[in-house]
Each structure stands twice: as structure tokens, then as C-alpha cells.
Amino acid sequence: MITAERMAAVDENAAALGVPRKQLMESSGNAVARAVRRVAAPGDSVALVCGRGNNGGDAFVAARFLDDHDPTVHLLGRPETIATDIARENWVALERAEYDTRVVRDAQELALDDPDVVVDAMLGTGVTGALREPEHTAAAAINDTDATVVAVDVPSGVDADTGEAAGVAVDADHVVTFHDAKPGLDDHEVTVADIGIPETAELFAGPGDRTVLSRPADAHKGAFGEVLVVGGGPYTGAPALAAQAAMRAGADLVRVVCPESVAREVQSFEEGLIVRPFEGDRLTTDHLDRIRALAADHDAVVFGPGLGDDPATLDAVRAFLADYDGRAVVDADALQVVPDVDTDATLLCTPHQGELRAMGGPSADDWRERLDAVADFAADIGHTLLVKGAYDVIADGSDARVNRTGNPGMTVGGTGDVLAGTAGALLATQAPLNAGTLAAYANGLAGDHVVEDRGYGLLASDLLPALPRALWGDADE
């Protein structure tokens, strides 16, 4: 089962892999025509009722595969208002080839002429809310015919994210849905058509994975989350890098809490950092009240950068996690305590392969083997893992993804801190699997952009200014 939102992401990833949507539309239309043939007797007439989005486009293609059924293609709305180039090109092809095309300007004009089969291609996964006109009246007209109704992707009127009909929906006898089942089709006779989307368009992180980030136009301060970085002690650069990365990745506010012995130095990396010191030179259980109070005021915590592995510090990490129930990215030395802590927290753990072994996790050289082993280990520990490597593996115990961005220049120190901070900002608003996938994708892409511009020899801090473009794309994209 796949939601409309995820389907849009996969579709964009397929395009980025070199399988464009117009090709997918050709496969979709072909699959619709095959479904129509299964229900139509020779000589039966077929009417295709099409909207102006790509759902309609699928039916424009289908018509070309149904010549022997004398297809009639009804377009709801003016051809100039067809929403996408690929749907318009397929409409124009029908007109030039002199198919029986009819432009329906007003729903009352829809004349279905008693067809044997009706194809409902009004609306698919691009739609939210109840049907508007003319689709509303057209749906009622389709439901009034005696025809066998074949719906394209989803019956028009059914929301492909929730599976709910918000009012009138087409009463379909068959649904031809693409790539994977959609929510809300349980009571229907469904054919899932393979339209040639590579499996890796779903498995590999790609530009489509960024769609979950689209900043709503009315974003108010606070909508993108506040992040607390708990780090520092033996190291000072790590918490500063993580905090700056969280800022670049869109967090509304980032605070660093660190030992007072290093607070000034942490601050020196970036004037804009908000630093909250605690007494002493390393984290211990003495500081837990302070950390807990701060953590409760933030949407996500990044736990680990530069904390070190002093036994007293690891005891403090263990005690903190044991009664924390919020969201946290756990990185670096803090990772090793995760498997023995019983916690209600939602954790996104970001080990490299050595740290994964220190957690008691699996090792595998081949990324496909690692994918399976990491997925099992994530299920065992009950947390999401982002295991860093040339191919990063992200798994939450039920689903898994792989990221291929990044380059050998990124083995330099500090890139992991940037990744942890990015993941923290994303975890404040996204599900852990999406946060981990997107953090890995954007960090690697930022590194690729830096190397493209300036060649090898990058510093972890070079990733920071490259992060926004990697996360949100070019301004004109």
C-alpha cells in the first residue's frame, strides 16, 4: 500500500533516475486499456470521462489502445486548462488523429450515449477534498449508467491519502491502480498494474523525498521546530557543527547545552549560537535535571556530539534516555548505551559501521546484505537506524531506504556531526525514517555540490552553507 504523497515522491525519484512521467503515463494508459478489454465484449462501446490532470492523461493514452471499441473521449473543461504538458500532449495527439473527442464545458452537457463500459479518469492521486463541479455532476451521471465502470488509479471522489470519500464518489466495478495499492480500495475489485517504476525509485533516496518538506505558505514561527544539542566536553567543534547544521536545515531555534569549561569555545564557532552551560567539564548525572527541563521545551534533542565516552557521561546518557519520551537523534559515543536502555523515546540513531558494531549490531560489506541486517537490528532495538557508509542504510523496523549521495571527500572529521544536526532539525517535524533518509540525502548532496564547485579537500563546515540548496533545491527548481 502506498499513499498519494509517497507516490508523488517515488514518481519524482523515478524521473530523476531517467524514467520520465510521460513514459509512466504510456504504461498506465496501456494498463487501463487492458483492464477495459477484460470487461468489454468484442464490439462493446467505451466512453472515457477525463479530468484535466494526469489521471485524465492516462485515459487519453488508453483510448489509443482501444481503437476497436470506438472510444469516445470526454474532457471535462477546456483543453487550454489541461494541467500538465504530458496530459496535454496526449490530448493533442487524440485530436490530430481524429479520435471522437468531446469537450464538456458544463457538466449538464455530458452525453454518455449508453456506453457498455465507462472509464472514470476524472481525478486520481492529485486531489483533496470533496468533488467540485463539473466532476461532481459527472460522477452522478456515471453512477446512473448501466455501464461497467473501470476507475483509473482511484475512483474519483476517493481521497488517495486517507481512502475516504468526502461526499459523492464514482461507484467503480473495477479499479486499475498503478505501482502499488492505494488506501480505500479494499471493497473494490482491484488490479495493481506495474507501470515500470524501478524498485530503487522507492528504495533509494532522491529529490522526491524532499517533497515532505514543502514549507506551508502560512508557516508561523515554531512550525519547524526547536532543537536542543546536548554535547561537548572533550570536544567542542562537534556540538557547534551539529547546532549550525540544525539551523541550516530549517530549525526555528537551536540551543546547545554543554559543560561550562567549553561553552566559550563552542560559542566561538558561531556568534548566533545560543549556548546554555552547565557546571563542570563533562556531562554527569548531576546535570540531568537541567538537561531534562531543557529537553522538555524542545521538539527534538541531538544527543552525543563531542560528549566523549567517560563512564560517568555514559551513565548520564543512559539515565536521561531511560525516562525521556520525546524525539532524539543519538550520535557518537552516546550510541553504545542505546541497546541496553528501555525507553519510550523515539530515537534516530546515526552510527557509522564501527559504532554499529559497538552497539552489538551487524556488519556486512555488501549494501544489500547490510540493508537486511540493519532492518532486522532496527526491529530488535525498536529504534530507527541511519547507518553511514558509501551507501547509507536507513531502517525503522518496518521500512528501509538507502542513500547514495556523498563522496570520498566526506570521510573528513565533523561530517557526522553535521549529519546529526540536520537529522535533529528534520526529526522535529518528520517521521524518523523520513528524517533520517532526507538528512543522509541532503548531507551527501551538499558534499557533492561542494566538491563539484571546489574539488576535494572539503571541511565539514563547508557543508553548512550548501545544506539549504541540498534540502530545498535551487531557487528556480
Residues at the contact surface with ligand LP7C6HRI, assessed by CB under 6 A: 7, 11, 21, 24-25, 28, 51-55, 58, 83-84, 123-132, 135, 152-153, 178-179
Query: Which grid coordinates belong to 109?
Result: 452537457
Please, what sign has the CA dihedral across residues 430, 433, 434, 439?
A: positive
Q: Please tell me whether 130 is known to bind a ligand.
A: yes
Among 156, 177, 267, 313, binds K ion (CB under 5 A): 156
Q: Which is nearer to ligand LP7C6HRI, 200 or 411 (CB)?
A: 200
From 141, 172, 145, 144, select the one nearest 156 (Cα to Cα): 172
Q: Please tell me whether 126 is known to bind a ligand.
A: yes
Asked if 152 interacts with K ion (CB under 5 A), we say yes
Through-space distance between the first and last CA atoms of the chain, rounded to whole angstroms: 29
Q: Please tell me whether 150 is known to bind a ligand.
A: no
Cα–Cα distances in angstroms (integers) from residue 198 to residues 18, 85, 152, 209, 382, in the given order: 10, 23, 21, 15, 29
CB of 6 to ligand LP7C6HRI, least distance (A): 10
CB of 128 to ligand LP7C6HRI, least distance (A): 6
Q: How many helices (H) and strands (E) does the chain have?
A: 15, 16
CB of 168 to ligand LP7C6HRI, least distance (A): 11
Q: Please tell me whether 233 is known to bind a ligand.
A: no
Instruction: Choose the one of K ion, ligand LP7C6HRI, none that binds residue 411, judging by a C-beta under 5 to 8 angstroms depending on kind.
Output: none
Instruction: Choose the one of K ion, ligand LP7C6HRI, none that binds residue 208, judging by a C-beta under 5 to 8 angstroms depending on kind.
Output: none
Q: How many CB atoms lie within 10 A of CB 455?
A: 9
Q: Please tell me whether 148 is known to bind a ligand.
A: no
Instruction: Choose the one of ligand LP7C6HRI, K ion, none that binds residue 52, judging by a C-beta under 5 to 8 angstroms depending on kind.
Output: ligand LP7C6HRI
Q: Please tell me whether 416 is known to bind a ligand.
A: yes
CB of 325 to ligand LP7C6HRI, least distance (A): 37
Residues between 97 and 136 that touch K ion (CB under 5 A): 120
Number of chain positions touching K ion (CB under 5 A): 4
Dihedral, CA atoms, 408, 413, 416, 420, nearest 10 degrees?
A: -150
Q: Going by C-beta distance under 8 Å and a sequence separation of 6 or more, which residues neighbour residue 431?
A: 396
Instruction: Choose the one of K ion, ligand LP7C6HRI, none that binds residue 466, judging by a C-beta under 5 to 8 angstroms depending on kind.
Output: none
- Judged by DSSP in three states, 9 sits in helix
Q: Which is nearer to K ion, 155 or 237 (CB)?
A: 155
Q: Please tell me whether 125 is known to bind a ligand.
A: yes
Q: Please tell me whether 325 is known to bind a ligand.
A: no
Cα–Cα distance measured from residue 172 to residue 307, given in angstroms and rounded to the nearest whole number: 59
Q: Please tell me whether 261 is known to bind a ligand.
A: no
Cα–Cα distance measured from residue 70 to residue 142, given in angstroms and rounded to the nearest whole number: 18
CB of 153 to K ion, least distance (A): 5
Asked if 54 interacts with K ion (CB under 5 A), we say no
Q: Can you spell out the DSSP letters for 259-294?
A: EHHHHHHHHHT-TT-EEEEESSSS--GGGHHHHHHH
Instruction: Choose the one of ligand LP7C6HRI, K ion, none that binds residue 156, judging by a C-beta under 5 to 8 angstroms depending on kind.
Output: K ion
CB of 401 to ligand LP7C6HRI, least distance (A): 18
Rg of the chain on CA atoms, in Å? 27
Name the DSSP letter for residue 152.
Answer: E
Q: Which is nearer to ligand LP7C6HRI, 71 or 155 (CB)?
A: 155
Name the DSSP letter for residue 153.
Answer: S
Q: Please tell me whether 53 is known to bind a ligand.
A: no
Query: Which grid coordinates belong to 210?
Result: 524532499
CB of 58 to ligand LP7C6HRI, least distance (A): 4
CB of 53 to K ion, least distance (A): 10
Cα–Cα distance measured from residue 6 to residue 192, given in angstroms and rounded to the nearest whole number: 16
Cα–Cα distance measured from residue 38 to residue 132, given in angstroms and rounded to the nearest whole number: 31
**Cβ proximity of 231 and 304 under 8 Å:** yes
Where is the binding site for K(+), in residues? 55, 120, 156
Annotated binding site for AMP: 416
Interface residues toward K ion, by CB under 5 A: 120, 151-152, 156
- Residues tagged in the binding site annotation: 54-58, 120, 124-130, 153, 156, 238, 306, 352, 416-417
